[in-house]
Amino acid sequence: MKCYLLLITCIILFSCGSDEITIPVITKPNYFPDDIGSRWVYRNSDGQEWSREITSRKDTQDNNFQKFIYNPPISDTDIGFLKPISFQVNQDNIRLAVSDKVNRYIQTELPNSVQDNFTGLDIDVVTEQISYPALVYLHLPLTTNLHWEALDVIVQGNLILQDLTLLHISFEVTININAVVLGQSQIETPAGSFEDTYQIEYQIETTHKVFSEEDVSSQRHSIWFTPHVGIVKIEDSSGISELVEYTLK
């Protein structure tokens, strides 16, 4: 009888102990904080400061995307594909809505590229209706030498001269953006010192095809992402912007 009671006691003790075993929870680094009210302030190469803040307002075209509010506001002529306005945070990537930027690029840059051939003529751009893909800003988890295609879009249409549909010239615009993670390091900015910061380089290539001739242009942009902080440095064609201060909600 005593042995039986001892056996029951041991079973109870071991059963209670098993409930107290804790399993460690692995937290993935968050390279793009998206809490409402979070705000980042940057200073560019000219010493001018600008900021962006996440608000509760959703994108009017797609409620799955959140929006940044910029101060000073972004100009309507801004066509920086990598300057996010509408973004979406997913488990394995961060995506940007770029349909407005692509349309703006085609409406402004394409007429400028052929203006010398049609001096004094009004040029309108008419594009075919397509469904634009989102730009894959980050592919998670980040690792050195990780490559991915951030954006690949082809837009076709016609250039209309002097509002005469008979005077039209077909065109094709290709926008391709590839990303690569160059490495991880510590980085210093006016906002402080940040460890485990990944530098991602984006290769942007745009091709205009008019009159069966191709005009190709390329740019390289670099963006530094720090876990649980976000973007701490940006280097593009306009210069360098560094994080000055930030508030995370």
Q: pTM above the 0.85 mark?
A: no
Distance (Å, rounded) from C-alpha 51 to C-alpha 242? 11
Q: Residue 97 in contact with residue 62, Cβ under 8 Å?
A: yes
Angle (CA) 205 209 210, round 5°: 145
User: Which pLDDT score, from 0 to 100, does residue 61 have?
Assistant: 60
Residue 230: its H or E element: strand 230-236
User: Which pLDDT score, from 0 to 100, does residue 26 have?
Assistant: 55
What class is the 28-247 domain? Answer: mainly beta
Residue 97 phi, psi dihedral angles, 5° rounding: -85, 120
pLDDT along the chain (249 residues), means of 10: 46 49 68 95 96 80 81 82 91 93 88 74 83 94 97 93 72 96 97 97 95 89 97 95 96
Residue among 80, 61, 156, 159 at smallest CA distance from 114: 159
Distance (Å, rounded) from C-alpha 137 to C-alpha 130? 21
Residue among 161, 139, 165 at smallest CA distance from 150: 139
User: Which pLDDT score, from 0 to 100, does residue 228 have?
Assistant: 95
User: Which pLDDT score, from 0 to 100, does residue 40 have?
Assistant: 98
Residue among 39, 41, 64 at smallest CA distance from 54: 39
- The letter for the amino acid at 191 is A
